[in-house]
Amino acid sequence: MATLTAGKWTLDPAHSEAMFTVRHAGISRVRGTFDDFSGNATFTEDLNGSVVQANVDTASVNTRNEGRDEHLRSADFFDAENYPVLDFESLEVIDFDGEEFKLKGNLTIRGTTQEVIFDGEFGGQTVDPFGTTRAGFEAQTDISREAFGLTWNAALEAGGFLVSDKVRITLDVSFTKDEA
């Protein structure tokens, strides 16, 4: 069982990734990332009572296709001009067994807040060659984009829609321990 040092931690965006996957045209998946995000946490040794907060810049969406990214930034999807930030605030950590856990929290997209549960895995804690204490986590959840007001779509000739409602969010994050 991995251990975690209690205290304040800061998300390290240079060693982290915030990704999403959505089915496109019913036959393939589009994958994207957000390039600008931040966060912090106050961890307890057993994660119970830990608090996690994160912010994502919606304009930083990156699917490796500039036209699609501009559409995602528009009022059809994230409306980055009026809603520049996606927010997450944890409510509780559930069922931490030393490795796996569930993280319940409030996710806000386009001004709409929904409770979500991430299935998470604690990767462990270490001190890197530069003397920085790090902890790694992976977490994943599925959301309904329509529940957050992202309702744009186009019908397909063969039936169905261009963009699925289900979006998978995957986080692969590294936190650094704040110096006391």
* pLDDT tens digits along 52-109: 999 999 999 999 999 999 999 999 999 999 999 999 999 999 988 889 999 999 999 9
- Nearest to 82, CA basis, from 101, 59, 60: 59
Of the pLDDT bands very low, low, confident and very high (cuts 50, 70, 90), residue 180 is: low
- Asked which of 98-102, 137-141, 152-156 is least confident by mean pLDDT, the reply is 152-156
Cα–chain center distance at 161: 25
How far is residue 45's CA from residue 78's CA, in Å, rounded to a whole number? 36
Rounded to the nearest 10 degrees, how much is the dihedral formed by the CA atoms of 26, 86, 78, 69?
Answer: -70
pLDDT given at position 153? 72
CA distance 28 to 33: 17
Residue 81, both tokens: 């001009």
- Burial bucket for residue 89 (CB in 10 Å: 0-12, 13-18, 19+): middle
Q: How far is residue 30's CA from residue 150's CA, in Å, rounded to a whole number?
A: 16
Beta-bridge partners for 33: 19, 62
Count Cβ atoms below 10 Å from residue 83 Cβ, excluding itself: 18
Cα separation, 81 vs 58, in Å, equals: 9
pLDDT band, very low/low/confident/very high, at 151 (cuts 50, 70, 90): confident
Structure tokens given for 90: 């944890």
CA–CA dist 149, 111 (Å, integer): 9
Residue 110 has pLDDT above 70, yes or no: yes
Greater model confidence, 49 or 89:
89
Longest dimension (CA), the chain: 60
Q: How confident is the model at residue 157 (pLDDT cuts 50, 70, 90)?
A: confident
